[in-house]
Amino acid sequence: MSGTARIPTLVLGGTGYVAGELLRLIAGHPQLQLAGILSDSKPGEPVAAAFPHLAVAYPDTNYLSVEDTESLVAATPNLAVLAAAPHGISAALIDRLLSVATTAGTKPRVVDISADYRFASADAYQAVYKHPHGAPSRLQEFTCAVPEHLPTLTTPHVAHPGCFATAMLLALVPLVALDLVAPEFYVSGITGSTGSGRAPIEGTHHPRRHSDVYSYGALAHRHAPEVAAIVERLTGRTTQLHFVPHSGPFARGIHATTQARLLRPISSAGVREALASFYADQPFVRVLADAPHMKDIIGSNYAQLSASTDGQSLAVMSVLDNLTKGAAGGAIQWLNRLYGWDQTLGLTAPSAGWT
């Protein structure tokens, strides 16, 4: 593989935390090479000014304008596109670039990390996001799932489910597929402040968030219908999902606890064995006997699960890094799949540990 040319890679989303994580991972990927990064608010400005920790990897790289990006798409026959633009903007931007590619005869492959291509229909999207979809005719070109749950991809492009959604899906899909529990779930999850994006808001202001934990969007968060729709598409079964997200006093990481009623008696060890068997061929998902810890996966593309039962109910605990496995790392894992590479390529670095 070292003798093959690297795939030129375009990042959409400019200065956000997920875009920064994409740039970090691209810098260490043996088959990807950054061709450009779009920022419609900072065209021409240095990437290192927005991400000083990446200055060693991109000392002379400047942000592109939309027009520069269109020229890049038109001139590059085989372009990988990683879209980290905001929800509500990504769909129309991707549609615009794919239209440019069609006219020019180029064939980019897109992984979208926003919510814009997670639903199968424009009506389902509008029901949750309360505004029309930006490119409804493109929805059929995207499939939304975590890589571990979809062995074969039938669309040219893919949508990554997102951070909280990934943590929930890693627990929910095997429980439903293996028919272990009644299809009604109660999920409590806690996320780091980077999950709220780079623009400062009250919920991410350090003096307010430090040493505090609080819920938000209880039983009304947009990820619940997204996750339920993905589970139904993958398993053919309708589920009820009751989700309460929480903000935690840390920057990176998600811990989610999923609870459900058992359909038949099974021990804690039996559930863990079933989960381990389900993910036996998936190197980024590890099932532990003990409770998973976020410090053991921060900065990596690995997720950890564990489970406990009391004879009547079950709890599955899942941890992952919201910026890596839940966003940028999961997207590059999909990109590896789209190009026929080993899905672990460029993603096997262990956790940073004591963050």
User: Distance (Å, rounded) from C-alpha 237 to C-alpha 226?
Assistant: 14
- DSSP for 147-189, please give it: GGG-S---SSEEE---HHHHHHHHHHHHHHHTT-B-SEEEEEE
Q: Scan for tokens 């998973």, then name that residue.
A: 292
Torsion sign over Cα 65, 67, 68, 72? positive
* Residue of 60, 66, 1, 59 lying closest to 32 (CA atoms): 1
Residue 102: exposed, middle, or buried by beta-carbon count in 10 A (0-12, 13-18, 19+)?
exposed
Give the Cα separation of 224 and 229 in Å (integer): 9
| Residues annotated catalytic, as ranges | 163
Count CA atoms within 13 Å of residue 199 on its CB side: 2
d(CA 205, CA 195): 13
Question: What is the helix (H) or strand (E) element at residue 35, kind and residue range?
Answer: strand 32-38
Q: Could you give the 3-state DSSP secondary structure of residue 334? A: helix
In our burial notation (b when 16+ CB lie closer than 10 A, e otherwise), range 170-209 reads bbbbbbbeeebbbbebbbbbbbbbbbbeeeeeeebeeeeb
Burial of 87 (0-12, 13-18, 19+ CB in 10 A): middle
Distance CA(317)–CA(243), nearest Å, equals: 14
* Cβ atoms of 185 and 260 closer than 8 Å: yes
Beta-carbon contacts of 89 under 8 Å, excluding residues fewer than 6 positions away, are: 114, 116, 134
